[in-house]
Amino acid sequence: MGQNIWKDGIIGLMVGDALGVPVEFSSREDREHDPVIGMRAYGTHNQPVGTWSDDSSMTLATLDSIKQKGKIDYKDIMDKFTEWCLYADYTPFQEVFDIGVATSRAIIQYGKGTDPIDCGGKTEWDNGNGSLMRILPVCLYLYNRQKMICTSENESIYLIHNVSALTHAHLRSQIACGIYYFMVKSVLSREGDLLAKLQWGIDAACQYYRSDLNNYKELGYFSRLFDLNAFRQLSKDQIKSSGYVVDTLEAVTWCLITTTSYKEAVLQAVNLGDDTDTVGAITGSLAGLYYGYNEIPEQWIKTLQRLEWIEQLLCYD
């Protein structure tokens, strides 16, 4: 596996997460009066500076499973999610302080013996961003795998949808993860500026999903992203930063295409308020992949709790 893209994307994600943790659930008005300009301590969850949340914990658990198994193993991923939830593995201080209701419910279902891919909620109300926030390692694994053995998009999307379904099994959440996968691929493989790369990814996702009429209704929820030149003209007031998966993907994309650096993108994301850690994390993942690890402020990286352990987890033979 290519180490650089893992480092770019996952450190990018974790820094964005840690920036957002102290101000999670704060209003946009609060952020306008007191904007985040760097790493903070305490705040919403009363955690030390550089503390990361469930977004990073579940991302690291997924990464660790892929690293150990060399493949996507649904049961092993759920085992590691359970170790995180019950025993605080993959956390900064052996404490779980932020876990979504849908994720918690899915882990409980798994503990009762439910098959891993049947654990996630399937209703209209099960479309939080809890699978989108942790899907990056799967996307990077499939990107590398596709380069090596030319696997089909059908196989990749099948795996992504199933990994989403571990906690979020509604088609809308699965499509959000699929769109993100195509965005990751385009950032890593296409030429052009960030808007052009993301537009290519969204176009590829639309082409893929439109091949099945069953996807049309759900794909329509993402229609504001279809023309990024128009989307970037929207004002901040027209962007929501809630935990709803469509709002999150829109907010992330808007932050990326209205800024010109990693630092600017993640600060824009966090200062939207509301679900600051997740919007910051997902923005940071794509910004990290595009701008590269060296463009992430060094002091922010050094502030991350358990940095040495994180770096070891990111090392591949």
Each residue's pLDDT tens digit, 185-200: 999 999 999 999 999 9
Domains and CATH numbers, the chain: 3-313 (1.10.4080.10)
89: number of Cβ within 10 Å: 17
Confidence of residue 315 (pLDDT cuts 50, 70, 90): confident
Average pLDDT of span 270-288: 98
pLDDT at 109: 98
Tens digits of residue pLDDT in 66-105: 999 999 999 999 999 999 999 999 999 999 988 999 999 9
Helix or strand holding residue 268 (H, E): helix 262-270
CA 214 to chain centre: 25
Q: What mean pLDDT comes out for the span 45-69?
A: 97
Cα(243)–Cα(4) distance, integer angstroms = 30
Are 161 and 179 in contact by the 8 Å Cβ rule? The answer is no
CA–CA dist 73, 205 (Å, integer): 24
Q: Determine the pLDDT at residue 316.
A: 57
| pTM recorded for the entire structure | 0.97
Q: CA-CA distance, 231 to 218, in Å (whole number)?
A: 19
Q: What percent of the chain has a predicted confidence (pLDDT) above 70? A: 98
